[in-house]
Amino acid sequence: MEFRRSRRLLLSVGVVVIAATAVVMAVRGVDPVEVWATVLFLVVFVAAALFGMLGGVIGGVAAIAAYFLLRAPVIELLGFSQVGQTLVARSTAYIIFGVAAGWAFDVVQRSLTKLDRHDVVDDATGLLNARGTAEVLENEISRCKRYGGEFAVVTARVRIEGDRKLRREALESLGDRLRFSLRTVDRVGRWEDDDHGDVVVVLLPETPIEGAAFVVSRIERLLDDLGYPLAGEPTLNRHGFPADEDAIRDVAKVAARMTRRNHPESTPE
């Protein structure tokens, strides 16, 4: 998803730059064929953006063919030898541009995919996302199994009414309040569920399940004070390890599944 957004941005910038260059050339009275030759770089650029280096090469070949057609009357009139140098230079430029642009888009895609595989922060709230939540739950289970101890988990399912902007504002506010109302060792995650509601998960290390009751009441108060309309009553549950290990693992499994749903291209096989 991140690469698609970045690709759209880069495409927009590239189209504007190439189109502006062609307009400036036209205004200055440059040969119309050369103006169209500049426009053909758009074909190469779009092909590179969509299909990488191979697309850039194919786009370059297509641009060369189109340029030869534009120059066909001159070639027929003067002969290839008279315009051959220009044709070769322009053809070389198309291929080099296609290879360079395709390589650049391939690098951007690999880099963003790698970053996305390690991204554990939810953009809307600054809390852990589904991937981060799954990781901290599994890590805490492993730690307690190895060294002993207990912890509690609180889950809250909330549906905020309104458009995307309103929901984002509400989630940002909720995230800020949760961070400041819990201990520094507590971890909070959030993701959107299959029904387009929001799931909030709070991990409370070294806390018995009885201690999680305080967090449940705190979340209820935060939701009451949030000032945004809710669709129905929020659903809150608490689980304690080791007694509720299976239920906690189920939460982690759901978080992992949502990670695969939201970022299928960045999830390792």
pLDDT tens per residue, range 13-68: 988 999 999 999 999 999 898 999 999 999 999 999 989 899 999 999 999 999 99
Boundary (domain end) residue, out of 87, 117, 147: 117
Under the banding of pLDDT at 50, 70 and 90, the label for residue 116 is low
CATH code of the domain in which 216 resides? 3.30.70.270
Domain count, the chain: 2
Q: Distance between CA atoms of 174 and 221, rounded to whole angstroms? A: 11
> Is 231 domain-assigned?
yes
Q: Distance between CA atoms of 227 and 220, rounded to whole angstroms? A: 13
Under the banding of pLDDT at 50, 70 and 90, the label for residue 241 is very high
Q: Distance between CA atoms of 149 and 60, rounded to whole angstroms? A: 63
Q: Distance between CA atoms of 266 and 117, rounded to whole angstroms? A: 5
> Is 124 domain-assigned?
no
Q: Are residues 110 and 201 in the same domain?
A: no
Q: Which residues of 133-143 are buried (b: 16+ CB within 10 A; e: fewer)?
A: bbbbbbebbee
Q: Are residues 36 and 65 in the same domain?
A: yes
Identify the pLDDT of residue 263: 56
Q: Are residues 96 and 153 in the same domain?
A: no
Domain carrying residue 17: 2-117
| CA dist list (Å): 143 to 13, 151, 201, 240 | 49, 10, 19, 15
Q: Are residues 13 and 79 in the same domain?
A: yes
> Is 85 domain-assigned?
yes
Tokens encoding 13: 């910038």
Under the banding of pLDDT at 50, 70 and 90, the label for residue 86 is confident
> Is 122 domain-assigned?
no
Tokens encoding 190: 């959030």
Q: Are residues 163 and 88 in the same domain?
A: no
| CA dist list (Å): 218 to 125, 143, 167, 212 | 18, 27, 20, 10
Q: Are residues 93 and 40 in the same domain?
A: yes
Identify the pLDDT of residue 269: 38
Q: Calculate mean pLDDT across residues 230-247.
A: 89
> Is 268 domain-assigned?
no
Q: Are residues 17 and 100 in the same domain?
A: yes
Q: Are residues 86 and 146 in the same domain?
A: no
Q: Are residues 60 and 180 in the same domain?
A: no
Boundary (domain end) residue, out of 63, 85, 117: 117
Under the banding of pLDDT at 50, 70 and 90, the label for residue 169 is confident
Instruction: Give the residue from 234, 227, 157 showing the smallest Cα distance to 190.
Output: 157
Q: Are residues 64 and 177 in the same domain?
A: no
Helix (H) or strand (E) holding 88: helix 80-117
Q: Are residues 111 and 135 in the same domain?
A: no
pTM of the model: 0.59
Q: Are residues 44 and 145 in the same domain?
A: no
Strands (E) in the chain, as ranges, are 151-158, 187-192, 198-205, 235-241
